[in-house]
Every structure is written in C-alpha cells, then in structure tokens.
Structure 1
Amino acid sequence: MKLDGKVALVTGGGQGLGEGIAKKLAEAGCNIAVADINKENAEKVTEDIRAMGRKAIAVEVDVTDWDQVQNMVKETDDKLGGLDIAVNNAGVISIKSVEELTEADWDHVLNVNAKGVFLCAKAEIPYLKKQEWGRIINTASSAGKSGFPDLAHYSASKFAVIGFTNALAKELGKTKITVNAICPGIIGTQMWYGDKGLAAEWKGEDETMEQSWQRNQETLIPQGEAQTPEDMGDLAVYFATAPHVTGQAVAVDGGMTL
C-alpha cells in the first residue's frame, strides 16, 4: 500500500522519536502536521520535510489540554485536507523512586503520556471515520511491557498506553481504522542521553556519561547497541501500510523484552 498524499499528524514531532517518525512518513509519501509543545522545534522539522517535497505545517499543542488538541486536529484537516494517520507520540519522563515521587510528578507523567494519548485519539477518530480509513499509532515503551526501577510512574503510563491501544483497536475493528503501539527501547534522545536523562542518572561514581551510555546499551540490550528514531519511523510506516495488523504493541528494542 502506498502512502502518497496521505496526511499524517505526529505529536511530539519537533525532536527525537517524533522527528524520526515524521520524516520516515514523509519519505513514504505523506504530508505531515508536526505538532509539539515547542513551536520552534516543530517549525524546524517542517522545513526539513518541505525540502523533501512534501507539504508540512507546524502546530503548537499541549496534549493534556482538550481544547488545544481539538484545534490541532482541526488545523491539520483545514490546512492539509484531511487526516489519515495519527501518531500520538508526545511523552515525558522523570527519574525517581516511588518514595521520592510526589503527586505532581505522577500526575505530570500520566497526564502527558496516557491522558494525552486518550485526548488525541478521541479528537482524531471522527476525522479518520470521515475518511473511511485510518491509522492510529501510539508511542508506548519497552517500559510498558516490563517495569524499570525509578520509573514506576513512567512504566505505569506506558502500560496504560498499551492497554488503551488494544481496547481501542477492538472498538474500531470494523471501521478500517487500525490502532497499534510502538514500544521503543534505548535510543540516544534526550530521555536517555540528555543532561538529566537515564544515562546521566544511572551512571556510576567513576563513570563518564559516555561510559554509562555504553554500559547501559551493552548490559540491557541483547544486540548490544541502541536503536534510532529512524527505526521507530520504519515501524510506523509498516503500521500505516498493514491493513490487518491492529491491537499490537511491537517492541523495537534489540531484544530487551524477549
């Protein structure tokens, strides 16, 4: 199945996984709405996509705000002529033990990662039904299949995304709208390799950031090397072109969750 002329909306598309997914979908023929809480980041990605010969718009959105989410989807429809593929990717992380977690910490991660996916899907479904064809692709995590210490709140949010994905796929089973989830493993984006990322938080006393990054790859991933945003984009393109794959949460993690 070709994706030429399809319209894809990618939340959290201004950097990291979202950027990789948006660009892979553009390579496959899609016009892209790049949605992000940081409008400047979104605009930079749209410039790259336009240079590929595709239409692209940048949309500023807080995915925890229902009014903003509705406006995001409407703007995509108005400016790009429809909505065919919705990638609900926006996410956040923090690193604390359950004892250290505050209620605000919990609420922030769950609101963006789980509530945000729900609100986006709720707003997107009427537009996809209007097309009589659609793809919803949610970003979960390997941490949504197996819990990690100091990431109980993050793991809970991603387990929620996987359950939501499975249930929604069954609700929409007769509509030609498929619903699937991407479960990334270890990727060198801000979540893992930023100043406050997992590699920084989990490094030993005598380790540099780079040494921690390498050790985490070698000890946690059977393949021994990190994945890339482009890997996630490849799976998104597959989900977008696979008519009978729905309700799945597929890990791209080098074997971490075998």
Structure 2
Amino acid sequence: MKASHSYTLIIGAGQGLGRSLALKFAQEGHNIALMARKTQTIENIASDVMALNQKALCIAADVTDIGSITKSIQQTQSEWGTPDAVIYNAGALQPGTVIELTPEQFESLWKVNCMGAFLVANTILPAMIARGSGSFLLTGATASIRASAKVPGFAVGKFGLRALAQSMAREYGPQGIHVAHVLLDGMIGNAAPLIQSTKQNLRHMNPNAIAAEYWKLHQQHPTTWTSELDLRTAIEHF
C-alpha cells in the first residue's frame, strides 16, 4: 500500500550520524525507514522518531547481499511506497596494510563501503525514476579523495562510492533524481545541541549539524543542485 506521506529510507542507521539524520528528517515531517543488519540496534532510534509524531520502520538487511537488499526494499515499498529520499550511510573501517589484510577482509570492506550502495540503487532507482523525483544521498569520507596509509580497504571502497555517485548524478539527474555525495572530512563527535561553537567543540563534527546539511541537499531547487558537498570543522586542516 502506497503511503500518502513523505518518507526517507536510511541505510546504515547507526547511533551516530544515522540517528541524527533520522531525527532531522523526522523533524521536517518525514516518516523514517531505518535499515541495519540487526533491528535491535535501531529500535531506540525508531522510538525517538515516533516521539516526534512520525512513523518509523525497522528493517533488517545485509547491504552486501542482493537478496537481502531486494527483500528489505520490497518490504519497505509494500508498506510505504517509493521513498522521497534515500541515504546510504553504511560504512566499515578495518585498519591494515595491503600485506596485513586478508583478501576476504579487503573484499568485505569494499562490499560495505561501495557495492552495497550499488545494490540499493539498483533496486530502488527504477521506482524513483518512474515517479520522476527524489534524492539519493551518499556518505563519503576523507578517504574518498585521499587514501591514507594502513586503510587501503576503506579507501578503495570510499573512492568507489564517490565514483558511483558521480556516475549516478550524471545519469539520473536529468530524470529528476538528485544524487549527491557528502564528503565528511573529519571525525564525527557527539550530537550536542547546536549552540555557539568554541574551539574545544570544533575538534569534531557535530552529527546534528551534518544532518542539517543533508536536509538542505534534499530541499535544493533543481536549478541549483549540489552533486558533491565537502564538510569539515573550521579548524580542520585541508
């Protein structure tokens, strides 16, 4: 049954940025579908969303498994129809050099950080294109453009995610889909209230502030779409 209410699908809805994204989009009037490997990890986020008088769905899915993704998205669509916004926020980091990482570990990092986004897009985009509107936002990192030592698996996945976003933006923008890659250049801290900042709390990015920027992307007029947004604190070196 198709929902008559706007909703956002968040893949990788963890307790940090994922929670802030869910609450921000709920505050703006969206119902929220939360997708994670285990629903127990996101039930408290769903409760917070419902406390804002919005509906919430908790869906278990493995982003590296096409069967799991297809089933989970079909479940969401049967409940609520096609999402107005999709946010791919899944990520995995395991330090280790090219010599230290096993092939299995390297492949797993690539699957979570990159291939999962492809699987989600491959499954959900046809319905969004048929409707002719929607946002598809992808969470990147410093490693999306600059690979540091000892994180080759993470960097390869994030480089690939950025390339995927660029290709999707060029392909599907003319069909009404706003695709944007958000490069988070820094460490994410606690979700503190957005008060006047001091140098002390500029050490880390505030997930509530990040979520506000995602909402702005979703709200952009199609004559001025951003395809890549890089965010960092005022004191971050770049």
TM-score, normalisation: structure 2: 0.87
The yes-or-no answer on 1:229 pairing with 2:230 is: no
Q: What's the % identity of the aligned pairs? A: 24
Q: Does the CA contact (< 8 Å) of 1:7 and 1:32 recur in 2? A: yes
CA distance in 2, matches of 1:257, 1:7: 36
CA displacement at 1:224 relative to structure 2: 4.9
CA distance in 2, matches of 1:156, 1:115: 11
The DSSP-based 3-state class of the residue aligned with 2:174 is coil
CA distance in 2, matches of 1:21, 1:63: 19
Matches within 5 A, 1:9-158: 9-158=9-158
Amino acid at match of 1:251: D
Unpaired runs of 5+ residues, structure 2, are 191-198
Amino acid at match of 1:188: G
Unpaired runs of 5+ residues, structure 1, are 190-217
CA distance in 1, matches of 2:225, 2:68: 28
Amino acid at match of 1:117: A
Q: Name whichever of 128-137 and 164-173 sits farther off.
A: 128-137
Q: Does the CA contact (< 8 Å) of 2:12 and 2:36 recur in 1? A: yes
Runs of 4+ in 1 over 6 A off after TM superposition: none
Partner of 1:187: 188
Would the alpha carbon gap of residues 224 and 150 (structure 1) be closer, same or farther in structure 2, given more than 3 Å must change? farther
Amino acid at match of 1:248: S
Would the alpha carbon gap of residues 81 and 239 (structure 1) be closer, same or farther in structure 2, given more than 3 Å must change? same
The DSSP-based 3-state class of the residue aligned with 1:179 is strand
The DSSP-based 3-state class of the residue aligned with 1:140 is strand
Q: Does the CA contact (< 8 Å) of 1:84 and 1:131 recur in 2? A: no
The DSSP-based 3-state class of the residue aligned with 1:99 is coil
CA distance in 2, matches of 1:257, 1:58: 38
CA distance in 2, matches of 1:257, 1:65: 37
Q: Name whichever of 64-73 and 32-41 sits farther off.
A: 64-73
The DSSP-based 3-state class of the residue aligned with 2:173 is coil
CA displacement at 1:231 relative to structure 2: 2.3
The DSSP-based 3-state class of the residue aligned with 2:5 is coil
- Cα deviations by residue, 1:216-255 (Å, 9 ceiling, x for unpaired): xx9xxxx951002212211210111113355623222226
The yes-or-no answer on 1:251 pairing with 2:230 is: yes
Q: Name whichever of 105-114 and 18-27 sits farther off.
A: 18-27
- Cα deviations by residue, 1:112-163 (Å, 9 ceiling, x for unpaired): 1100011011111012123221110011112112222211211111111111
CA distance in 2, matches of 1:121, 1:246: 19
TM-score, normalisation: structure 1: 0.81
Partner of 1:213: none
Q: Does the CA contact (< 8 Å) of 1:14 and 1:43 recur in 2? A: no
Q: Does the CA contact (< 8 Å) of 1:178 and 1:243 recur in 2? A: no
Aligned pair count? 224
CA displacement at 1:85 relative to structure 2: 0.6
Partner of 1:242: 220
Q: Does the CA contact (< 8 Å) of 2:217 and 2:226 recur in 1? A: no
Q: Does the CA contact (< 8 Å) of 2:30 and 2:54 recur in 1? A: yes
CA displacement at 1:13 relative to structure 2: 0.8
CA displacement at 1:257 relative to structure 2: 6.7
CA distance in 2, matches of 1:45, 1:21: 10
The DSSP-based 3-state class of the residue aligned with 1:121 is helix
The DSSP-based 3-state class of the residue aligned with 1:100 is coil
CA displacement at 1:89 relative to structure 2: 1.0
- Cα deviations by residue, 1:156-188 (Å, 9 ceiling, x for unpaired): 111111111011111112111110011222113
